[in-house]
Structure 1
Amino acid sequence: MQVVSISSLKGGVGKTSVTTGLASAALAAGIPTLVVDLDPHADASTALGVQPRDQLDIGRMLKNPRKYRLAENVVQSGWVERADQNGRGPAVLDVAVGSAYTGIYDRPDLGRRDLRRLSAVLAGTDKYQLVLIDCPPSLNGLTRIAWSASDKVTLVAEPGLFSVAGTERTMRAIQLFRQEFAPHLSPAGIVANRVRSGSSEHTFRLAEMTSMFGELLLEPHIPEQANWQQIQGAAHSVHHWPGDSAKTTAALFDALLGNLMATGSTMRSRSQR
């Protein structure tokens, strides 16, 4: 099981869109996947079309991680039925539902015991090949809890000045966190998101990111898509949305997922330089 945190220091870069795009690719590929929605806004839960009943949200599971069983509280994504109808089943895409309750842990002063809460929630599950954690756009407690439970961190950035600078700071934060709390953690790479091919600024920043981060800048880059808000608002996966634009984007996420899951020792050694 690979546990991957999807993180960013700066909000508004499309971190949740990348999380759901990767989840869509995993569903299409038949990879049993769990999405953990740690963002108190719970946008990933909405986009994944979950309809919880008696299940506990991830915040309440974090409060008593050894009391509540993950398997009894995950919710099947609403995308799964569409995948089965298209002959892609049996499909597994579950969600640990987000809520504002997780905000009680989004503070900078968490101790080691608190940092291990998500690891305890995930302990013992062998149902999934991939766990994607949608983190809040900050480096406070929830993101640190996610990193403690993860094998890899994927950073999301727009090719803009402030986002690139924030990504560099986050890379340094990952290195410090590894040294103190999580020596097993490695950066899985950086996703350039919402790229506008006709923008000279984006072209310049992508070249700058390549120079700064080298092989940590993952391929392919994800272009800006005008109907992404519509896709998420309808709680559809990009792989089940009609039109050539969605098909092209779905293929990009297929390739990105393959590259993400293939990253390993090379990325670890690059991050230690």
Structure 2
Amino acid sequence: MSSPTFSSSSTADDVASAFSNEIAGKNVLITGTSKNGIGFETALAIAKHGANLVIITGYNDQRLKESEHAIKAQVPKANIRRLILDLASLSAVRTAADEVNSFPEAIHVLIHNAAAAISSSFKLTIDNLETQMATAHIGPFLFTKLILPKILASASTSPSPSPGYTYTYTPRVVFVSSMAILSGSGSGVNFETIGKPDEATQAKSANVMTALELCKRSRGRVNAYSLHPGGQRSPRELAQASGLMDADGKPNTTGGVEWKTLAQGAATGFDPTLNGSSSSSNYPHG
């Protein structure tokens, strides 16, 4: 059976509808789910199409409550659980991971969407780590490592609709990266001099490498992916560096660049190859 075909105009709801059978009954954890962001749109689409549990995370509980209320306004029966997760603090990451590990449910899908805002100045976290690298890579890396037993616990084998075959579900970890990694300096990470836009491109490059290495080390027990969700996701500095925006901050509509709405950007997280039998993959384009 061939996979549905999607384009830059596909919405999160379009894709979730096409894969509602795969979404149904799953427990999904999404980082960075502030209202009107692509993490929120993804959570909403998954909730609409029968997920058993959608865990939304963020460092601000009031914003999480707003996201929860907005989702339940459209999907009253949605099972939404809020999780305070400050990826800029390793201590907070450990606390959040402990909470997840105390949940009775396993985690079928983990989507890393959170990122720090681009800053004009060099900033360090409480752990003396560069803010972008800490929030977009180190925090997610540690969080994934700590809750990996919960993720692995969702693997299962069940009878296939086709006689004589079985269906094996493989857990998934998805990193929302950016095509802007192509504009990086290529000189590696220097934590003493790192500055914009390299601070974000280096962190997003780390997402890609983490996904590939997680696939390699898990030996088929986890399918990990990195993706580019569309032009709307990239901060202005990154968008300009990669040619998505011109010097005035206007979208570059030439050269094949296709811009997406928030809902359309969320659709990339449901790539048709994200299934239990797929191998490790990296998607530089949405």
Length-normalised TM-score, structure 2:
0.45
| Larger helix percent | 1
- Higher RCO, 1 vs 2 (CA within 8 Å, ≥6 residues apart): 1
Q: Which has the larger radius of gyration?
A: 2
